[in-house]
Structures are given as structure tokens and as C-alpha cells.
Amino acid sequence: DVGFTQRQAALLIYSLCIVFGIIALVASPSQKVIAIFALVIISMLLLTVLTLIQRRKINVS
């Protein structure tokens, strides 16, 4: 099983919200664009890694 516990998922979401909330309050518009771009890249990488891990676990079974 690839995934987080309910507590881990909630903490991850809260942490991301806090980080991006702070960025929204203190960053200039150009920095906000960079932050959004970084979020998209990180999300795509995370999705790719989790998909690969899940496929490997399915193939092993």
C-alpha cells in the first residue's frame, strides 16, 4: 500500500497550505508565478514517483 495515514495526509495538506499562504502574503507577483510553477513541477514529480512505486509493488505481487 502506497499512501499516507489520515494524520500524515492532514499534516501534509496543512503544511502546504501554510507555506503557500505565507508566500501569498509576502511575495511579489513575479515570485508568486515562480512559486506556482514550482508547485506544478513538484506535484508532477511526486505523482510520477508514487505511480512508479505502486507499479513496482503490483509487479512484485
Q: Using one digit for the tens of pLDDT, what is the confidence trace for 40-53? A: 898 899 889 888 88
Strands of 1-61 (E only): list them.
none
- pTM of the shown model: 0.58
Q: Roughly what angle, to the nearest 10 degrees, separates helices 6-26 and 29-60?
A: 160
The domain segmentation of the chain, as residue ranges, is 6-60
Residue 3 has φ and ψ, to the nearest 5°, of: 170, 175
- Residues in the chain, pLDDT under 70: 1-2, 61
